[in-house]
Amino acid sequence: MPEQITKYPDVTLRVLKGAGAACGDGAPQKILKQCPADRFCSLPTGEICVYGVAEIPTMTQIDTREIAAVVSPRFTFDRIELLSLSGLGVVLLLIGLILGFAAGKYSRKRQF
């Protein structure tokens, strides 16, 4: 049974009630047992849990990382990418240190 995200959960619940759904009436939750009672709707064909945008972290079927990957795909990194980026940073730091020491030795030789 689906969990739904909407900007206007109260309006969505009113529309579902108007269509004959039992919403927030203490209807038995057979599948969506973790849905807050005031966001739960039961219909003859199934159940719906209506979440507002601010309630996304409490959803059980959709993970916030899945939403982030859709909303902002260029900023999603998995652990392997982050490790490779940090490894690249370490390599660049080491190269910088080596070049710095070499430049320091070269400049001391030229002064004497």
DSSP conformation letters of 95-112: HHHHHHHHHHHHHHHHH-
pLDDT digits (tens, 9 = 90+) for 40-86: 999 999 999 999 999 988 999 988 888 888 887 765 555 555 556 56
> Has residue 107 got a pLDDT over 80?
no
- pTM of the predicted protein model: 0.61
Beta strands 40-43 and 46-52, pairing class:
antiparallel
Residue 47 three-state SS: strand
Beta strands 3-6 and 22-23, pairing class:
unpaired
